[in-house]
Homo-oligomer: A and B are copies of this chain.
């Protein structure tokens, strides 16, 4: 009864992102379908962010309003019987009536997974394959330059002109095992394709195609053409959401 905060986890391979679309399967559509079955009424689920097609979520938060009084644990259990196996409800709690999964969000963290060497069938759709070796140190130096409050328009494919200033509080490049490189980015908000453009840029920095200190010019000029390519969605995971 009242407003609920639901935490889910999903493999994005089979979905056209979060947001409901005509003629495309989306996570929001699956969640609304499951909520409707459980509560026997149309329920709208509001997510913490639109994620692109094929992007994954290790933690994704959404809110919804319901009238029936069902214990939170049972909501989680029941939803998991209605949801497909690549989407799992993890936790459900009461939320204040003015809580909003998107607007109440203080910061989000994404990770991007790259694995070096030959293609691996177990990582297909789950990471970017890079046939050579990445220069972690160079990438980290550029990443350090992204920290703080800047206009990230040049690091995004956003068309809107208003409010493209964001604060990046963390941007780490590290190896999680001998072949896997992780790029971890936290910010108070992200522009369209921002993480994927930053990842593409860091890869081009590693390759020496983009100068180690170019971030300043990209911030100043807001010129998207100075930044790197847009990395494929496969390696991108929403990792944490903070309220």
| Contact surface of A with B, Cβ cutoff 8 Å | 9-11, 56, 58, 80, 85-88, 90, 118-122, 124-126
**Which residues from chain B contact A58 at a C-beta distance below 8 Å?**
122
Cβ A121 vs Cβ B80 within 8 A: no
Residue of B nearest to A58 (CB): B122
CA distance A212 to B136 in the complex (A): 50
Closest-CB distance, A209 to chain B (whole angstroms) = 25
Cβ B121 vs Cβ A87 within 8 A: yes
Main secondary structure of the interface of A (DSSP, over half): loop
Closest-CB distance, A6 to chain B (whole angstroms) = 14
Cβ B88 vs Cβ A11 within 8 A: no
Copies assembled: 2
Cβ A124 vs Cβ B11 within 8 A: yes
**Which residues from chain B contact A119 at a C-beta distance below 8 Å?**
80, 85, 88
Choose among B11, B90, B118 the residue that contacts A122 (Cβ–Cβ < 8 A). B11
CA distance A109 to B181 in the complex (A): 29
**Which residues from chain B contact A125 at a C-beta distance below 8 Å?**
85
**Which residues from chain B contact A80 at a C-beta distance below 8 Å?**
119
Can you spell out 10 A-B residue pairs with CB atoms less than 8 angstroms apart?
A9-B120, A9-B122, A10-B121, A11-B122, A58-B122, A85-B121, A85-B124, A85-B125, A86-B124, A88-B121
CA distance A120 to B88 in the complex (A): 7
Residue of B nearest to A122 (CB): B11
CA distance A9 to B120 in the complex (A): 8
Residue of B nearest to A11 (CB): B121
**Which residues from chain B contact A86 at a C-beta distance below 8 Å?**
121, 124
CA distance A214 to B241 in the complex (A): 50
**Which residues from chain B contact A90 at a C-beta distance below 8 Å?**
118
**Which residues from chain B contact A9 at a C-beta distance below 8 Å?**
120-122
Residue of B nearest to A87 (CB): B121
CA distance A56 to B121 in the complex (A): 10
Choose among B87, B88, B118 the residue that contacts A88 (Cβ–Cβ < 8 A). B118
CA distance A156 to B47 in the complex (A): 48
Residue of B nearest to A12 (CB): B121
The 10 closest A-B pairs by CB, nearest first: A85-B124, A11-B121, A86-B121, A88-B121, A88-B119, A10-B121, A11-B122, A9-B121, A87-B121, A86-B124
